[in-house]
Chains A and B, each alone.
Chain A
Amino acid sequence: MRLARAVGFRLLYGLLSLIFITFVTFVANEAAPADPAVIFAGEKASLADVQLIRHRMGLDRPWYVRYGESLWKDAHLDFGNSYYGTQEPVGEILKRDVPLTLRVSLLAILLASAIGIFLGTLAAVYENRFVDRSVLTLSTLGVTLPNFVLAPLLVYVFALRLNYLPQNWEVTRVAPDFFYLLLPVVILAARPMAMLTRLTRASMVDTMRQEFVRMAIAKGVPTFRVIVRHSLRNAILPVITSIGTSFGYLLTGSFVIETIFTLPGIGRETIEAIQARDYPIVQACILVTGMMFVILNMLVDMILPILDPRIREAQV
Chain B
Amino acid sequence: MKKRKDPFMVAGLIYLGLLLIFAIVWPMLRYHYDQSVGRPFEPPNGKFWLGTDELGRDVLVRVAYGARVSLFVGFVVQAISLTLGVLVGVLGIYSKKWIATPLMRFTDGMFAFPDILLAILIIAIWKAGVIPVIVALAVTAWPAYARLVYTQVATLKDREFAVAAKAAGGSTFYVVTRHILPQLWLILFAVSMVEIAATILAESTLSFLGIGVQPPMPSWGIMIEVARENMNSHPELLLPPCIALSVTIFALNFAGDGLRAYFDPKTR
A115 contacts the other chain (Cβ, under 8 Å)? Answer: no
B118 touches A24 (CB 8 A): yes
A153 touches B242 (CB 8 A): yes
Report B-chain residues with C-beta under 8 Å of the C-beta of A36. Answer: none
**Contacting residues, chain B, for A294 (C-beta < 8 A):** 112
Asked if A279 and B124 sit within 8 Å, CB to CB, the answer is yes
- The verdict on B180 contacting chain A, using a C-beta distance below 8 Å, is no
> Are B122 and A28 closer than 8 Å at their CB atoms?
yes
CB atoms of A146 and B246 under 8 A apart: yes
Interface membership of A197, Cβ < 8 A: no
Q: How far is the CB of A290 from chain B (nearest CB, A)?
A: 6
Q: Are B235 and A148 in contact (CB under 8 A)?
A: no
- Whether the Cβ atoms of B112 and A17 lie closer than 8 Å is yes
SS of A interface (majority): helix
Q: With both chains docked as a complex, state the minimum distance between the C-beta of A137 and any C-beta of chain B, in angstroms.
A: 11
User: Nearest Cβ distance between residue B98 and chain A, in whole angstroms?
Assistant: 19
Q: Does A32 contact B (CB under 8 A)?
A: yes
B249 touching A32, Cβ below 8 Å: no
Q: Indicate with 1 or 0, residue by residue over A234-261, a CB within 8 angstroms of chain B CB atoms.
A: 0000000000000010011001100110
> Which residue of B has the minimal Cβ distance to A34?
B125
Given contacts A146-B245, A149-B224, contact A28 B209 (CB under 8 A): no
Find the B residue at minimum CB distance from A251.
B114
**Would you call B114 and A144 a contact (CB within 8 A)?**
no
Contact status B114-A290, CB under 8 Å: yes
Mark out the residues of chain B between 218 and 268 whose CB falls within 8 Å of any chain A CB in the assembled complex: 221, 224-225, 227-228, 231-232, 235, 238, 242, 245-246, 249-250, 253
A251 to chain B, nearest CB (A): 6
Contact status of A152 and B242, CB under 8 A, knowing A146-B249, A274-B124, A274-B211: yes
Chain A CB within 8 A of B121 CB = yes
**Which residues of chain A come closer than 8 Å to B133, judged between CB atoms?**
none
Binds A, one of B57-65, B81-89, B184-192, B200-208: B200-208
7 cross-chain CB contacts under 8 A: A16-B109, A21-B112, A29-B125, A248-B115, A252-B205, A282-B121, A294-B112
Is A275 among interface residues, defined by CB-CB distance under 8 A?
yes
Within 8 A of B (CB), among A12-57: 16-17, 20-21, 24-25, 28-29, 31-33
Q: Would you give the shortest CB distance from B166 to chain A, in whole angstroms?
A: 36
Residues of chain A at interface, number, CB under 8 A: 41
Residue of B whose beta carbon sits closest to that of A275: B210
B210 adjacent to A255 (CB under 8 Å): no
Q: Does A302 have its Cβ within 8 Å of any Cβ on chain B? A: no
Chain B 71-105 per-residue mask, 1 if CB under 8 angstroms from chain A, else 0? 00000000000000000000000000000000000
CB <8 Å contact, B211 and A160: no
Residues of A within 8 A of B232 (CB): 160
Chain B: residues with CB nearer than 8 A to chain A?
Answer: 109, 112-118, 120-125, 197, 201, 204-205, 208-211, 221, 224-225, 227-228, 231-232, 235, 238, 242, 245-246, 249-250, 253
The chain B residue with its CB closest to the CB of A273 is: B124
Q: A148–B112 contact, CB under 8 A?
A: no
Name the CB-closest residue of B to A294. B112
Asked whether B210 lies within 8 Å of A148 as measured between CB atoms, the reply is: no
Contact A256 B227 (CB under 8 A): no
Q: Are B224 and A286 in contact (CB under 8 A)?
A: no
Bound CA span A144–B124, Å: 27
B253 neighbours in A (Cβ, 8 Å): 143-144
B12 to chain A, nearest CB (A): 11
Question: How far, in Å, is B226 (CB) from chain A's closest CB?
Answer: 11
The 7 A-B pairs at the shortest CB distance, nearest first, are namely A17-B112, A248-B114, A252-B116, A32-B125, A274-B124, A149-B242, A282-B124
The answer to whether A286 and B208 touch across the interface, beta carbons within 8 angstroms, is no
In the complex, A286 Cα to B119 Cα: how many Å?
11
Contact of B121 (CB < 8 Å), options: A24, A152, A256, A275? A24
Most chain A CB within a 10 A radius of its CB, from B116, B209, B221: B209
Known interface pairs A156-B235, A271-B209, A279-B125; A144-B120 also in contact (CB < 8 Å): no
Closest-by-CB residue of A relative to B251 is: A144
Known: A252-B115, A293-B117. 6 other contacts (CB 8 A): A146-B205, A148-B225, A152-B242, A160-B232, A252-B117, A259-B209
Are the C-beta atoms of A286 and B120 separated by less than 8 Å? yes
CA distance A17 to B238 in the complex (A): 40
Which of A24, A32, A156 lies at the interface centre, i.e. has the most chain B CB atoms within 10 A of its CB? A24
Distance of A32 Cα from B221 Cα, bound (Å): 26
Please give me the residue from chain A that is nearest to B224 by CB atom.
A148
**Contact bitstring A159-185, B, C-beta under 8 A = 1, else 0:** 010000000000000000000000000
Q: Is the CB of A145 within 8 A of B246?
A: yes
Whether A188 sits at the interface, judged by CB under 8 Å, is no
Question: Taking CB as reference atom, which chain B residue is nearest A247?
Answer: B114
Across the interface, name the chain B residue whose C-beta is closest to A297: B112
B113 CB contacts on chain A under 8 angstroms: 20-21, 24, 290
- Note all chain B residues with C-beta closer than 8 A to A290: 113-114, 117
Most buried by A among B120, B204, B210, B253: B120
In whole angstroms, what is the CA distance A256 to B114 when docked? 15
**B245 surroundings in chain A (CB, below 8 A):** 146, 149
* Pair B231/A274 contact, Cβ less than 8 Å: no
Contact A255 B246 (CB under 8 A): no
Given A146-B249, A148-B221, A286-B120, answer yes or no on A255-B209 (Cβ-Cβ < 8 Å): yes
